[in-house]
Each structure stands twice: as structure tokens, then as C-alpha cells.
């Protein structure tokens, strides 16, 4: 039984063959493969999936990142040229040519079973994830506001949105959620 689906956007057919084998072993089904970035209309069909995309398409990701996140799409960059610079914050993970087989499996395994997850960090904005990490590390609203250079009222608003989106009300619950989702290291 396949639990997750993914879309591959790249221009290297040989890489696709290897990725398909790895993804199949992790029970991640390849739904579509595009040599170039797809039409925006096609994005509306995707939900709770993974996009494996050549990092050269960073502008495409930057342009559609909010839309993809709202639809539960995880974004995995594939770096074919380690000398090329890119914005790592656009991606949930980046696959490198220097990754060992074990590391590659580890990086992709976290995206298995996406379809069965009821709550995901993809629901949260990048700022909410920053706030969640600091809450999980035991920071007070004042400490968070000072660290992120935002007002205490903004921190409180972010915390309300986080608890509402995740359905987790207690600090211990938020901390557990952050640990389970690898947002912070286990204590």
C-alpha cells in the first residue's frame, strides 16, 4: 500500500530512475514527472504530497511556496551542482550528490505517510514555526519577542494561531509536537 505521493520536477532522466526506486521502497508513489515547472493550474490538483524539485527552479518555488504549503505540499530540493548557491529556506529538505544511501533514505523517509498525517508543520507559516521552536525550548513571550524582534502582542497572536492550527493547547504538548516533527532536538 502506498501512503504518500510525490511530483518530480527535473531535467535528468537517469536521476528519476534512481529516485523512483528509493521512493518506491519508502512507499511514496510518483504521480507526475515534469522536465520544467508545471502550469499553475496543475498545482490545484496536488494536496498532501511531496515535490522533488531541482534547486534551479527556486524562483518557481518562491513564487508558489505559500500556495503549496497551504495544500500540505512538502518541498524537497535536489542539488545537482554543489557549487550552485540556493536559498535553503525554500525547501523542507535538500538532497545532495554527496549524500550516502543511508542519508538519502533518512531524508526522504520523513515524507513517507504524508497522506495519513492529520496535522503537519506545513500548516504553519515560517514565523509560526520559529515561535513554536522557541516555545518548545522554554522561552517566554518576552524572550521570544526580543529574539525575533517582534512585539509581545505579535508573539501572542502567533501562539494562538499555532495552538488553533495544531489543536495542541499546552506547552508540554507543543514541545512534544516540536520534538516528534524534528523541529528541535530531543532533550
- What is the per-residue pLDDT across 13-45, written as a single tens digit (0 to 9) for each? 777 787 888 888 877 888 888 888 887 677 777
34 contacts: CB under 8 Å, gap ≥ 6: 7, 8, 9
User: How confident is the model at residue 115, as a pLDDT?
Assistant: 46
| CA-CA-CA-CA dihedral for 4, 9, 11, 15, to nearest 10 | -20
Average pLDDT over residues 157-178: 84
Which is more confident, 1 or 25? 25
pLDDT of 81 strictly over 90: no
Higher pLDDT, 165 or 128: 128
User: What pLDDT score was predicted for residue 131?
Assistant: 95
pLDDT of 164 over the 50 cut: yes
Q: What is the pLDDT of residue 119?
A: 46
| 118 pLDDT higher than 50 | no
Q: What is the pTM (predicted TM-score) of this model?
A: 0.57
Sorted by where each starts, the structural domains of the chain and their CATH numbers stand as: 4-116 (3.40.50.2300), 121-180 (1.10.10.10)
Concatenated DSSP letters of the chain: ---EEEEEE-S-HHHHHHHHHHHHHTTEEEEEEESSPPPHHHHTT--SEEEEEEGGGHHHHHHHHHHHHHTT-EEEEE-S-TTS---GGG-SEEE-TT--HHHHHHHHHTTTTGGG-SS-GGGS-HHHHHHHHHHHTT--HHHHHHHHT--HHHHHHHHHHHHHHHT--SHHHHHHHHHHTTSS---
Amino acid at each position: 500500500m502506498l501512503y504518500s505521493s510525490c511530483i518530480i520536477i527535473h531535467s535528468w532522466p537517469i536521476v528519476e530512475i534512481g529516485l523512483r526506486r528509493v521512493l518506491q521502497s519508502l512507499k511514496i508513489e510518483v504521480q507526475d514527472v515534469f522536465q520544467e515547472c508545471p502550469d499553475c493550474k496543475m498545482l490545484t490538483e496536488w494536496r498532501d504530497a511531496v515535490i522533488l524539485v531541482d534547486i534551479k527552479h527556486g524562483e518557481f518555488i518562491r513564487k508558489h511556496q505559500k500556495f503549496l504549503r497551504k495544500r500540505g505540499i512538502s518541498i524537497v530540493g535536489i542539488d545537482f551542482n554543489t557549487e550552485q548557491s540556493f536559498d535553503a529556506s525554500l525547501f523542507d529538505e535538500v538532497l545532495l550528490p554527496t549524500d550516502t544511501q543511508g542519508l538519502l533514505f533518512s531524508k526522504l523517509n520523513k515524507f513517507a505517510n504524508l497522506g495519513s498525517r492529520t496535522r503537519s508543520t506545513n500548516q504553519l507559516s515560517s514565523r509560526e514555526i520559529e515561535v513554536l521552536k522557541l516555545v518548545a525550548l522554554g522561552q517566554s513571550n518576552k524572550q521570544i519577542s526580543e529574539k525575533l524582534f517582534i512585539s509581545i502582542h505579535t508573539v501572542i497572536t502567533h501562539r494562538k494561531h499555532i495552538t488553533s492550527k495544531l489543536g495542541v493547547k499546552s506547552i508540554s504538548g507543543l514541545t512534544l509536537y516540536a520534538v516528534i516533527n524534528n523541529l528541535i532536538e530531543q532533550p
